[in-house]
Structures are given as C-alpha cells and as structure tokens.
Amino acid sequence: MTAQEGFAVDPWSVTEHRLDLAGMARSESVFALSNGHIGLRANLDEGEPHGLPGTYLNGVFELRPLPYPEGGYGYPESGQSVINVTNGKLIRLLVDDEPFDLRYGQLRDHLRSLDFREGVLRREAEWTSPAGRTVKVTSARLVSLTQRAIAAVDYEVQAVDGPVRIVLQSELVSNEQLPQGGEGDPRAAAVLEAPLVAEEHHAHGTKASLVHRTRYSGLRIAAGMDHVIEGPDGVSVTSEARHDQARISVTTVLQPGERLRLTKFIGYGWSATRSLPAVRDQVEAAITAARYSGWDGLVAEQKAYLSEFWSSSDIEIDGDVELQQAVRFALFHVLQASARSEERAIPAKGLTGPGYDGHSFWDTETFVLPVLTYALPGAVAQALRWRHTTLPLARERAAQLGLAGAVFPWRTIRGEECSGYWPAGTAAFHIGADIAVAVVRYVRATGDMEFERSYGLELLVETARMWRSLGHHDSAGKFRIEGVTGPDEYSAIADNNVFTNLMAQSNLKAAAEAANRHQLEAAALGVDTEETAAWRDAAKAMYIPYDEKLGVHPQADGFTLHQLWDFENTPQEKYPLLLHYPYFDLYRKQVVKQADLVLAMQIRGDAFTPEQKARNFAYYERLTVRDSSLSACTQAVMAAEVGQLDLAYDYTAEAALMDLHDLGGNTRDGLHMASLAGACIALVSGFGGLRDYGELVAFRPRLPSGLSRLAFSMRVRRHLLRVEITHEQTTYTLREGDKVRLQHDGEPFWVEVGAPVQRPTGKPTTGERPVQPPGREPARRAPQAGPMIGSVLAGSEHLAAE
Amino acid sequence: MTAQEGFAVDPWSVTEHRLDLAGMARSESVFALSNGHIGLRANLDEGEPHGLPGTYLNGVFELRPLPYPEGGYGYPESGQSVINVTNGKLIRLLVDDEPFDLRYGQLRDHLRSLDFREGVLRREAEWTSPAGRTVKVTSARLVSLTQRAIAAVDYEVQAVDGPVRIVLQSELVSNEQLPQGGEGDPRAAAVLEAPLVAEEHHAHGTKASLVHRTRYSGLRIAAGMDHVIEGPDGVSVTSEARHDQARISVTTVLQPGERLRLTKFIGYGWSATRSLPAVRDQVEAAITAARYSGWDGLVAEQKAYLSEFWSSSDIEIDGDVELQQAVRFALFHVLQASARSEERAIPAKGLTGPGYDGHSFWDTETFVLPVLTYALPGAVAQALRWRHTTLPLARERAAQLGLAGAVFPWRTIRGEECSGYWPAGTAAFHIGADIAVAVVRYVRATGDMEFERSYGLELLVETARMWRSLGHHDSAGKFRIEGVTGPDEYSAIADNNVFTNLMAQSNLKAAAEAANRHQLEAAALGVDTEETAAWRDAAKAMYIPYDEKLGVHPQADGFTLHQLWDFENTPQEKYPLLLHYPYFDLYRKQVVKQADLVLAMQIRGDAFTPEQKARNFAYYERLTVRDSSLSACTQAVMAAEVGQLDLAYDYTAEAALMDLHDLGGNTRDGLHMASLAGACIALVSGFGGLRDYGELVAFRPRLPSGLSRLAFSMRVRRHLLRVEITHEQTTYTLREGDKVRLQHDGEPFWVEVGAPVQRPTGKPTTGERPVQPPGREPARRAPQAGPMIGSVLAGSEHLAAE
C-alpha cells in the first residue's frame, strides 16, 4: 500500500480524499463508529457499493455447530459468531430516475473524514448522474458516546445544476446479503446467512421499527428510527414496513441550490430475556430522547465527552506527525470499543468488523485494559465485571476439565469456550492469570476497593484455585505447571512456560493478599487460611526454568534445546508460517510467533535481572517472526528497556500503523484493537518507562532519536498526572489530586499540584542492535519519516479459524 | 458378560447354542468370515433381525469430508470410510405365508458353530411359525480361502410337521439400510447412507448380477450369484433384477421330511480403473469356476488350506482349554484377515466390522505381521508391498510436512492420511519405523532378499530419510527427535519418546545396511555413502533419556517429572479415561493408555539391561490403565521376561479373550485383530521367550503355573521349527530344513531334522508382583480356570473417531 492509496496525515483526524473501490472494506473498518454497544462499519449511506456491510450490537451472536473429524471429551460443541444485525444507517437516494450509486455516473469529488475530537464521520460527495444531473451530498454520522442506544445520521442533498426530483429512502434492513467469505482466508468470520427471524414490523409517519429474534441463540433485537425532515415546500413522506425492511420515503423536487435535509435517529436494543414490547419500547424511548437532543445536541454531547477524554488521556508526540495521528487513531478506537460496553466483552476487533467471529480473547485484559486503566478506568471495571458475570460458566468449564475454581474461555462472546482447537485454546490457561493481573492492576491504579471486594476478590480466588489444581509440586518441592500453552502460538502444550508460571505466581499471591484484605467475603467464598497458605506456598515454590549454559530463560522447559527454525531457507512469501507449515513443525522448533518470554519480562519485570533482560531480549529477537499483531508493541517496550530505542521506535510505529497501513492485510475484517492499544503501551511503558507493579508508579523515560517530545496524561491512584519527556528532561506535573510519590529512573520523588518536578531524561548506552530473522526486521523508521512504513506483516494474532 | 451368555468352550471351534438378540452384533463379528479380500459379517441368512449388516471388500471405501472448527495447514481434508457393499448372503424364506423371522413364532433350537479346521460357519435352526408350522433350516457359509473372489452358502429347509409351501428368495441387495450409529459411541464407524450408485443390473435363470459405483471415491463394484437347486419335483424358479436388488425366487411345496436345498455361489470384484464389462465378467468367471468346484469342492479346498495352516502354525496349550480355544480363534481370524489381502491393507478390524472406519494403523506392522512372519510369511510380503504401493502418497505427504523421504499415514484405507487429530495422528511418526522394522523382521525371518531388493530397500531408505530430517543434533552432538507422539495415546507431542527414538535408530541402521547390501539399487534411489554415513551417525548419536534419580527410562523427556494421575480418586466408571477426561489433562500427567516404553523393551530388548527392564516394567505397571487393547499382550511378554509369569498369564488371557468375552464392549464393531495377534505373541514371545533381533533365533521358555504345556510351530529362516515347553523341559524339533543354530536361555545349540534337542525349562525367581492402578489389574487367571474372566476393559485402542 502506498501513501497515496491511504489516508491523509493529520494529527487529529483521518481523511480519505477519494473513494477506492478495491479498498472499501478497509476504509469501512478504519472509519467505523462505535460506542462499545453499537458498532457501525463505515458503509456508504446508500448501502452500495460496499466492502463488507456491518452493523453490530455487543453481545448479539448466533450459535453454530463446531464439527470435529475426531471428537474428544470436553471439546466445545457450539460456537458463537457475531452477526450483522438490522442495518439502520441506510439512506438511499434517487436523483430523477437514477439511483445515487458511485459506480455509475461521474463522481466529481468524494471525501470522508473523522476528527477524533468530534467523533463524527463526515462525508461530502459531488456526483453527476449518468443522465447528467449533478447533486452534492453531505452526510454526517455518529454513534453516541453519551446515549448508548443511539446512532444518528444527518443527510443533506443539494441540487447543483438544474431542478431534480429527489427520493430519499431511509431504511431498516434485516438479513442483508453478505459477500461470500473473501478468498478463503480462514481468519475472516464465518458468514452466517439470514440469522434474524422476524417478529414484528411497524411504520407510521416518520417512525418505523423492526423486531427480530435469532434462531438458535434466542436473542431478541429491536431496531427503530425516527426522522426530522427539512426541505422546500411540497415534501411528501410515506412509510411502510414488512418483515425484514422498514422504509420512510421522502420525495420532493429541488431547484438548483435548494437542499433536502434528513436527520435520522436510530435506536437499538436487545435482550435474551425481556419481552417483545419491553425491548421495542426501550428502543422507542431512546429514539424519543435522541430526537429531543436533536442532531446538534448529540454532536455537542459527543464533542464534550471526547474533550474530557483527550484532556486526561492524550498522548502527544513531536517529531513524527504520522505516529501522532496513528496513536490518536489508536486511542480513539480503543475508546470506541470500550466506552459503553457495560458488562459485555470487548472483542478483539471491537465492533468494527466480523473478524475472529467477534470473539474476545486474552487481548482485552493484556493489551486493551492496561491502556484503559489509566485513561478510562470505569470501562475497565465494566469489562472485568463482564468476566465476573461469566464465572458460573467458567466454574462449569473447570469442573468439566477436572480442575478447581474457574477456567475462562480462550475465545467467546457470551462466556462459553468457543475454541475448536484445544492445544491453542483450552491449553492456554494463562487467560485466567491475565484476568487476575488486570484486576490487580485496576485496583492498584484506582484504589477501587469496593470493586475488589465485590468482584475482584472472587475472580482472584477462583483463578488461584484453578492454578493450584493445575500445577503440582515435584519431589524437590518446586511447583510445576505442565502441558499448557503460553502466548506464543508457535509453541503449544509445553511444560513450565515462563510467562504462564510467572503470571500464575502473581495470581496466587494476589488472591492470598486480597483474601487477607477481605476476610469476611473470602470466608463466604469458602477460603480459609489453609487455602491461602497453599496459594502462597505454590507461588513461592513456582518453578522458573533457566538455561544456565546459554544464560537465558527458555520460553518453556527444553525450548532452547529445540532445533532452530531454518529461517535462511524460509522465503518471505511463506509468512505467516502457520499458513504454510504444519503446527507440529512450528511447535517443535525454536520459532516464536509473538512475544512470550519477552511479554513476561514486561509484565513481570521484577522477576528478571537487567542482564537477563538484555540477554533474553536479544535471544528471542532472532527467533520472533511477528506473525501476530500482538508482538511489536511488547518488543517495543522491552527494546526500550534494554536501551534499544531506535528499534523500539520501529516496533512502536509498526504497532500503531497496523490498521492505517493495513500491515496485516486483514484490516477489512476489523481493526486490531490490541495492536492499537499496544501502540499506546509502547509509548507510555516503552519510552515513558511506566511500570506499575510496585508500591510506587515508576517511570524511566528515554526518547528515540526520531522523537523530540513525548507527553501523556494518565489517571492513577486518584491523581491526574502529566508526564512530558524531551531528550533533555522529563517534567512531571500533577494536574489533580493530592501530593504523590513517584519514581524516576529508580529514584523516588514527590510531586504536587502547581509544582511540576523536572528530572534529566536518561540516555542509555545503546549496544549492538539485536538481529531479527531474515526479512522479519521491522521497517526502519527514519527520523521525521513520512508515511514510508510498508512492510507487509501478517496479522493473524490468533490461530486461523474457518 | 457371563459365560452362559457367551460361546461354548472347545479347543477347535466356537459355538453359540442360543440366539441372543441383544448380542447379535457381537456374534456377527465373532462368526465373521473373510479371506482378506471379502468379509462377511455373520448376519443371519434371512437378513433380519440383525445387529449390524456388513459385507466388505478390502479397499472399497467412500470419501467423506473431514470438517474442522479451526483448520490448519496440512490437515487432511478428506476421510475414507469402509462401506457396506452389496449383500450377497441374503436368503429369505417364506413358510406358507409367514416370513422366517426368529423374532416371531417359536424358535425351538438355534445353533451356530465355526470350526477352525473347516472354515465354514454352520447353522441349524428349528422354528415353528406363528401359524404353527415347523421347519428345520440348515445352512453353511464360507468365504473361500482358495478362490479369492468367492463366497458360498449351502442352504436347506426341511418340512417337519406337515406340508408347507416354501419360497426361497436368494438376493443381492445394495445400499442396505443400516442402523443409526449405536449409542453415540464415536468409535463406531460413520454410517454412510446409500453409497452405491447403480450402473447395471441383470438376472436370468439362476444367475444375477449388480454393478455399482461409489459416488466420490469412484470405485466400480460388481456382485454376482448363481445357484444350484435340489428339491422335490415341481420347483419353480424365477429371476428379477432392479437397480439395487437382484432376486432368484425358488418355490415349492414340501411334504414332512422333504427338503429344499439351495447352493448359492457369490462372486465379488471391484476396480478403480477397469471398465464395467471387465469387472462384471471377472465376477461371472469366478462364479463359473466356483460352481464347477461345487459346494463340496469348495469345502474340501477350505479344509485342505486350513490343515496346511494349522500344521505349520498351531499353538497348543495344555491346562487351559479356554485359552486354547481363544488362541486358535485368534490365529484363525488373523489368517482370515490377511490370507488373500494381496497388496491391500490389513485393517485394524480385519473385514469383520466397520469399526475405525475400516482403517489400517500401525497395528498391522506391530502386532499382526510379527505373527504372520512366522506363520504365513507370504501375507507379510503382500502387506508390505501394499505399503510400498503407497510410497508416492507418503512422499507427497512428507513434502507437504516439510520432511524428506516418506511419511506414512496414521490411519488410512488407500494410503492418504485420514487422521483428523494431528497430535495423535500425524505426530505419531513412529509408524514409519514400525513399517521399517516389519521389513527387517520379515527379511531376517525368511531370507527373502528379492523382496528386500525390490520393495524393502525403498521402504527403509525413504523412512530413514524421514527420520534424518525429522531429528536434529544438539550442541552436545546427540540426535534428538522432538515434538512427536509415541504409541501411548495418553501422551502426545513429546520430546525424545524412547520407543520412537529406538525404533528410528533401528530404521536408520537397517537402511544403511540394506543400502550397503544392494548398492546398485540404492544408488538408483539416490543414496550415496554420505547419506548412509549420516544415517549411521544419527543412529549412533540417538539420544535416549534416562532418569538417573529413579533409575528408570522416562517414556519421553520429562515424563517422570509429571504429576501422577490421581488413580485413587478415579472411579472405575470413568474408564476409558479418554471418554471422561480432556486430552490436555491426560497428556500432562503420568498415566499410560498402552504399553509404550514397555513395548520398546520388547522390540528393542537389546537396548536395556535386565535390571532396567525389571525396574521400568514395575514403574510403568503402576501407570498403565490398558484403555487400549494394544497393551495386555506387550505387558504379557515383558512380564514373562522379568519373571512375572502369573501376571504374564493374566495379561495373555486378557488379550486372547478380548473378543470372545467382549472385554472392550465394542466387539460389535469388529474384532480386535492386533489384540488377537498379540495373544499369539504373548504365548510365543512371552512364555516361549522368542526374540528374533540378533543373529540367532533365541528362546527363553518359561511356563506359568496355570499351563502344563505350550507348543508351537513356526517358519523361520526357511525352516519349520516346533518348540514344545513343559515345566521341566523344552524340546526343539526341526520339522523341515537344514540344520539350524538356535539359542536357549542364552546358550546356542544346533538342531536338525530327526534329532530333537531338549533343554531344561527355566524357572525364574519371581519377585514381588508389580502393582497396577487400582481397579485396573488384569483379572487373575486361576489355574484350570473356566470362562471366569470378566473384567470389562475399554477397547478404544485408537482415539475416538466420530
């Protein structure tokens, strides 16, 4: 992809200056709007042409059978796939007797733009119909961050060069026909045909609604719309509805310069339990409220919400405007994915596309929540409360697997395990510790003890129980966890994966501590001091393999004895490897898909000496192919820690540009939320050196040569803190809250409101740049680089799913 | 199952004295007739009631898709399932106007019997119809061991108590309706509905034929029949045919005492390439020849063939008539499975049922061929030539997996990999060495150098190439084979499985030796001295893990560090474990489904000291649950070797009685060929102590207290040898061939025709009986035991297949 085919570089917005029919699906993901509850892909108002039509409601899915050629005990029998619900964003336009379709006639001008401070997708088009009549179409679309059930479209058509007869058809359409699944790429979601069964349809005046039910998952979904129409006199409005379609038609004749404006308020609701009238009425009430706010009111609320967000969470960069744009794009989409998810999962793709069937993975806790913890902590509490609601299912799963406590699913929408390949699903038990560590991080960062008491404790206890029953003591008294899969999906079913064991150690320790803090609540969960002692003992006795000969940690027992992957004879077109080599071969050799031991060093930095970190980092660099988008950000953080700042910069850019440059070639299926969040982590934890696992929030700022300034704000310990880093010095400003003790380059200091503290920014001596597998080096990011990054990476951050 | 429900105990036959409707499917397997080309389950002549109708032709299968919830590179997309072909054994009987159906009326007497010396299934029934008319039905059925394409039925009905109008309908029926797959037991084969597409049908006089084609696998199948009719005057014969049915109807009236006799000659042929007329005509020619032989001729040929077989291959036992019966039953069925398979696979169930989809596994080379090598060596050459014909597919598979040489399928009918679960399929690379070792064993036992030159060499070379590319040298120079699965299916994807590494070592060494013996032919295969040197080096450097602390060999790296399975808290109803526990849990703990390290000690006894054997045997005894029928026989052999003779006796009985006592509960799906063959191995290699991997054939005879005499004959090195063991002495008699040097208890001696040699039988001091997991002990076989064995074992010798 060249820069010309992409999006204009601007620090606060992303803009597309011409319509690229081949790249429509990618743009639909990039410009997708969401509030975490509703997600609208950026399909054109008129519906066609499209890349991949998509309207999603968080938690709405259909069940589908998971077939196995050879079954096995405990294999999930049923999968869950996100479905394309009733499309409410459709506004078709007839110009005289020609449908407004950009594939025909002449498109004089087409622009789409999304400003991260406004949260509105704006579009301008000037089009001459095949019959020679020219119109200007201006539309704006939002998914409200303040009114959860609401999306809205402000649509205006203007006659340019003569009188035209205009018909606007504003529609709700269910069971849209979807294009057949790509070029056989198994990573795209299974296309589910016509998943909605009609229950009720209604249209009257400017209002209409459709109510449907999913066939197998039994969810009821209501969609409704209402309209405000402004135009010349003589506008006629009709309405009609049938099972899968409702339509309001607005007709008039526009003289040159005259405009017809239609404001569409769209409401969605769904429930697994509530009655049809209840769901329908809740949608109609939401629409009534939105209409009361009006378009301008919705836009004003949206701006105010975003202004507050950026004020406390912006990441500013000087010296690389493209990276500045990319990181704000990243923060904006992470916000959209999580702002109003409210006790629902945050999927790997947010609500931007159907990739990975709309499932949530460990990505959420490991990459997305660490960003939200300091930016939008309320969303973290919501996301973890969703995990808490799934505890009954996780307990059932644990019992089925013969384990104590809770086993959370590797991939799911509602909470049931949906992974059809257990060596990379069920066996990835680290998901439990990922959740536990996210709880600990959130509670430490916010001091939300009420959350810990009511939700966090139980999550910690049930995951600790799982670990205690999964591991065992060997004859030397070491606690071993065997036959599990760590983050790296090019290894599986290994013994004593260092990441897993260290995360389990944190989990066990944290559970014992939390149980001690909340003794009554812990007792109610059946925890006694024998149990907490057993957790502490297991944590203390945790076995961490180490290869004395090489002086590095093997990713798991025996890893460093395995044969090296033959990188020299692996041509570039054979990446991602998983599409060209069998798992058995990947698993048995030294080749790493994504940071595993290196991620352990980021999250559990306390468990490694600086020398070990440097040696380990260099060792795994030459093995890591980054066939997953969940890797560059972690490599960036650890590269920065070991002093490889330019390498860290390269990785940061790769993580940040994953979707804007479509580095994985699959942005069409939705955005890579974890990579986007990871770009923020790379900046804040990499160059900012933020580490928050001790008593004090610690920083270790360093800047790569390509950046002249990095500044970020964050909410932590009920403070609002701003950190500004230049090559010379770092300034800590407390914007809100009581005086706080922080750490800079290992030295503690106090900072209070009105009295910023400055410290010199460290300048590590840079050793030799570690080597990556041939052809798998990150693209070098030249200082002041324009949009030059183009190395095409595979973005299969999870195993292929058909 | 109690003895009363089972079969009468007799040293030379198996007899069922009453019809057990619930156990019909089991009897259909036990009484199944086959010559390795055609297989007929013992369905009643009249077709119904039935357990599971079955008529099989070796190599006739249908393709079916293998669906994966999450696909992966190199996963087989297509499976192969044995199909029930045109049923030619049907003879329906109408008595007045009542169909002869044993579920109605009164069954006065019903007996079925199979004499292993005759190879004919005989049946006698006396039945009174609901209307009160009594007839005697006598039938006999054979599948000819001498006329490969031929089966025949001799059917006679006699009026007993009054004149009856008799109609006999002798039929060919295609696409029989099959019962729906059991109680969801995934081990039963997928039922394929109506797999045959009609091509031609024909009937005239006493002859008829049907020609069909399979829909996807494209095989053409012809079935034909002809009849000889004897009865009172006034017998009328009509014939008719349609797509899926051909029928010859014979009508008469029988006065009391009069008989109607119908001899039916059935012929089968199939081909993937030959034309319809060619296949049809070959069947008609075979039928013509059979009719020329006549029923009595066919029976005489059958007896002569079997007489020759028993003369050279019988195993005689004194002291346990049930075991005597069982071992002859075993030998008879092993013979039936392989006698005329002729460059086709020998399936795990022979042609006795649809279990495991009719696939062949490593069972053939590891359990069946070792018996045939000394009993019917020509069948071994045929079976290995079948492997040789699949070399192009095995080379393709190796290339797909990124390996050199050939990778043979874990399960297949035609040669393509059909395993849908790679950790227990593709990863079980030992199949390659199993084949290589079978080649070496056959060539050593027979001296068939022409076979070695033309077929064996290439099998050895291509498997050696595979091993050389699969393993690698570590920094210490040891040759390691990682990420593979050994025989034990409760472990998978382990490093340096001892069995696999030792077998690979044999394979590599044997390939180098054979290439040296056949230098021209090896050069034609591209083998040079660099390559053979690399094989020798890898064999020599082979890494065999050993746990110094425990003084035992771990089954694979790290195995002895794993958590012990919690046997104490595993109730008996949770066996077989694979149906009640997830693979991840089985794989990560010390629990063994079937002999693995213990099998390595049997096949590669030279690689272990006697002390290691004793310690290893005891260690693995307490871990081995025998959820596979491929275990007891191996445990028997090694128990005998380490001096545990009574334990060996118990295991031998278990292996031998697997099907006669339905110990696995799944005899209905077909007989366990490997367990049956294993019973013979247990006697000859266990109590006889036969080891044939050195220069001399070696014996180490010992008898358990329950047996007073064991005698067996075997063909080896162009000799026919008889060994007779009593507690006092062992007599070696050379029945045919030149003077030969043998070994008795480690001491060499010569024996020649006419001069038997006697040596005292060893009496090992028996140590403490090793302990098995609670409840998994083999049933104790009391001396002179009647049919008391009843411990119900699971017979899932391969992973569940849906």
For A:664-693, CB contacts with B below 8 A are: none
What mean pLDDT do residues B508-512 have? 98
Which residue of chain B has the CA closest to A557? Answer: B558
Name the band, by pLDDT with cuts 50, 70 and 90, for residue B65.
confident
pTM of the model: 0.93
Mean pLDDT within A23-50: 97
Residues 573-592 of A with CB under 8 A from B: 578-585, 587-589
Domain assignment of residue B157, yes or no: yes
Residue-wise pLDDT for A660-689, tens only, equals 999 999 999 999 999 999 999 999 999 999
Which residue spans within B642-746 are E strands per DSSP? 697-699, 709-716, 719-726, 729-736, 740-744
Which distant-in-sequence residues (6+ apart) come within 8 Å of B527 by Cβ? B461, B515
What does DSSP assign to residue A197?
Answer: E
**Residues within 8 A of A (CB atoms), B 690-729 only:** none
**How buried is B396 (Cβ within 10 angstroms: 0-12 exposed, 13-18 middle, 19+ buried)?**
middle
CB pair distance less than 8 Å for B426 and A584: yes
Cross-chain residue pair A580–B73, CB shorter than 8 Å: yes
Residue B236: Cβ-neighbour burial (10 angstroms; 0-12, 13-18, 19+):
exposed
For range A5-23, the mean pLDDT: 92
CA distance A697 to A714: 11
* Domain presence at residue A21: yes
Q: Give mean pLDDT, residues B561-580.
A: 96
The side-by-side arrangement of strands in the sheet containing A38-40 is A33-34, A38-40, A55-57
How confident is the model at residue B764, as a pLDDT? 87
Per-residue pLDDT of B718-772, as tens digits, reads 899 999 999 999 999 999 999 999 999 999 999 999 999 999 999 988 889 999 9
Asked if the C-beta of A130 comes within 8 angstroms of chain B's C-beta atoms, the answer is no
Distance CA A139, CA A143 (A): 14
| Residue A5: per-residue pLDDT | 61
Query: What pLDDT was estimated at residue A796?
Result: 55
Token look-up 């183009």 returns A790
Nearest chain B Cα distance for residue A590, angstroms: 11
* Residues of chain A contacting B356 with CB distance shorter than 8 Å: none
Whether the predicted pLDDT of A193 surpasses 90: no
What is the Cα–Cα distance from A409 to A76, expressed in whole angstroms? 10
How many separate domains does chain A show? 1
Asked if A583 and B799 come within 8 Å (Cβ–Cβ), the reply is no
Which pLDDT belongs to residue A783? 57
Residue A797's pLDDT band, with cuts at 50, 70 and 90, is low
Is residue A149 assigned to a domain?
yes
Question: Is A422 flagged in the annotation as binding?
Answer: no
Residue A715 CA: distances (Å) to CA of A200, A302, A688, B377:
46, 21, 15, 81
| Structural domain span for residue A128 | 3-311
What is the full DSSP assignment across A111-148?
EEEEETTTTEEEEEEEEE-TTS-EEEEEEEEEE-SSST
CB interface of A with B, residues 313-352, below 8 Å: none
* B593 marked as binding residue: yes
Q: At what angle do helices B457-470 and B430-446 cross, to 10 degrees?
A: 150
Average pLDDT along chain A: 94
Question: Across the interface, which of B69, B402, B578 has its CB nearest the CB of A581?
Answer: B402
3-state secondary structure B488-500: CCCCCCECCCHHH
- pLDDT range class, residue B231, cuts 50, 70, 90: very high
pLDDT per position as a tens digit, B456-468: 999 999 999 999 9
Nearest to A70 among B74, B495, B802 (CB): B802
Residues B675-728: tens digit of each pLDDT: 999 999 999 999 999 999 888 999 999 999 999 999 999 999 889 999 999 999
Residues 6 or more apart in contact with residue A312 via CB below 8 angstroms: A375, A713, A714, A715, A720
Query: Is B587 in contact with A493 (Cβ distance < 8 A)?
Result: yes
Structural contact between residues B232 and B261, judged by C-beta atoms closer than 8 angstroms: no
Q: Which residue of B has its CA nearest to A64?
A: B69
In a domain, A262, yes or no: yes
List CB contacts (< 8 A) between B563 and chain A. Answer: 472, 480, 482
Q: What's the mean pLDDT in A792-796?
A: 47
Task: Give pLDDT, residue A717.
Answer: 86
By Cβ distance, the residue of B69, B563, B588 closest to A66 is B69
Q: How far apart are CA B712 and CA B731, in angstroms?
A: 11
Provide the annotated active-site residues of B: 489
Of the residues B78, B584, B589, B591, the best mutation for testing chain A's interface (the one with the most A CB atoms within 10 Å of its CB) is B584
Question: Which residue out of B397, B412, B588 would a mutagenesis test of the A interface target, given it has the greatest number of A Cβ atoms within 10 Å?
Answer: B588
User: What spatial distance separates the first Cα and last Cα of chain A, rounded to whole Å?
Assistant: 27
CB atoms closer than 10 angstroms to residue A693: 15
Q: Closest to A70 (Cβ–Cβ): which among B580, B585, B801?
A: B801
Task: Search chain A and give the residue with CA nearest B472.
Answer: A563
Per-residue H/E/C for A396-420: HHHHHCCCCCCCCCCCECCCCCCCC
Residue A593 among known ligand-binding residues: yes
- How large is the ipTM? 0.90
Q: Given this model, what pLDDT does residue B83 score?
A: 95
* Mutation for testing the A interface, residue in B66, B356, B561, B570 having most A CBs under 10 Å: B561
* Any domain includes B765: no
Residues 40-79 of A with CB under 8 A from B: 66-74, 79
Q: Is the pLDDT reported for residue B187 higher than 70?
A: no
Residues of chain B numbered 148-207 and touching chain A (CB < 8 Å): 186
A730-762 pLDDT, tens digit per residue, is 999 999 999 999 999 999 999 999 999 999 999
Q: Per the domain annotation, does A303 fall within a domain?
A: yes
What residue of B is the nearest CA neighbor of A569?
B402
Q: What is the CATH number of the domain that holds B199?
A: 2.70.98.40
Residue of A nearest to B561 (CA): A474
| Alpha carbons A716 and A652: distance in angstroms, whole number | 23
B544 in a structural domain: no
Instruction: Give me the sheet containing A196-204, strands edge to edge.
Output: A13-16, A106-115, A120-128, A134-143, A150-159, A259-271, A220-230, A207-214, A196-204
* Touching B: A residues 362-421, CB under 8 Å: 400-402, 419-421
CB contact under 8 Å between A71 and B578, yes or no, is: no
Over residues B274-285, the mean pLDDT reads: 97
Query: Which are the contacts of A270, defined by CB distance < 8 A and separation ≥ 6?
Result: A57, A59, A60, A85, A219, A220, A221, A222, A279
Assess whether pLDDT exceeds 50 at residue A516. yes
Q: Return the number of CB contacts < 8 Å for A and B.
A: 165
Q: What amino acid is encoded at B131 in this protein?
A: A
Residues in chain B within 8 Å Cβ distance of A186: 70-71
Which three-class secondary structure state does DSSP give residue A731?
strand
**Do B401 and A580 lie within an 8 Å CB cutoff?**
no
pLDDT at residue A801 is higher than 60: no
Arithmetic mean of pLDDT, B440-454 = 97
pLDDT at A67 over 60: yes
Contacts of A480 in chain B (CB under 8 A): 561, 563
B467 marked as binding residue: no
The residue of chain B with its CA nearest to that of A549 is B475
- Cross-chain residue pair A588–B484, CB shorter than 8 Å: yes
Q: Which two tokens stand for residue A267?
A: 């409401």
Q: Evaluate whether B168 touches B254 at the Cβ level (below 8 Å).
A: no
Task: Answer yes or no: is pLDDT of B42 > 70.
Answer: yes
Q: How confident is the model at residue A100 (pLDDT cuts 50, 70, 90)?
A: very high
Q: Is the pLDDT of residue A275 over 80?
A: yes
- Lookup result for tokens 């999304």: A114
Judged on CB neighbours under 10 Å (0-12, 13-18, 19+), A82 is buried
B304 closest CA partner among B142, B124, B123, B445: B142
Dist. CA A562–CA B228, nearest whole Å: 70
Whether the Cβ atoms of residue A702 and residue A710 lie closer than 8 Å to each other: no
* Domain-embedded: residue A57: yes
Q: B91 phi and psi, to 5 degrees?
A: -135, 105
Q: Is B626 helix (H, G, I), strand (E, B) or coil?
A: coil
Yes or no, beta carbons of A588 and B801 under 8 Å apart:
no
Query: Where residue A694 falls among pLDDT bands split at 50, 70, 90?
Result: confident
Residue B782 pLDDT greater than 90, yes or no: no
- With beta carbons less than 8 A apart as the criterion, state whether A11 and A332 touch: no
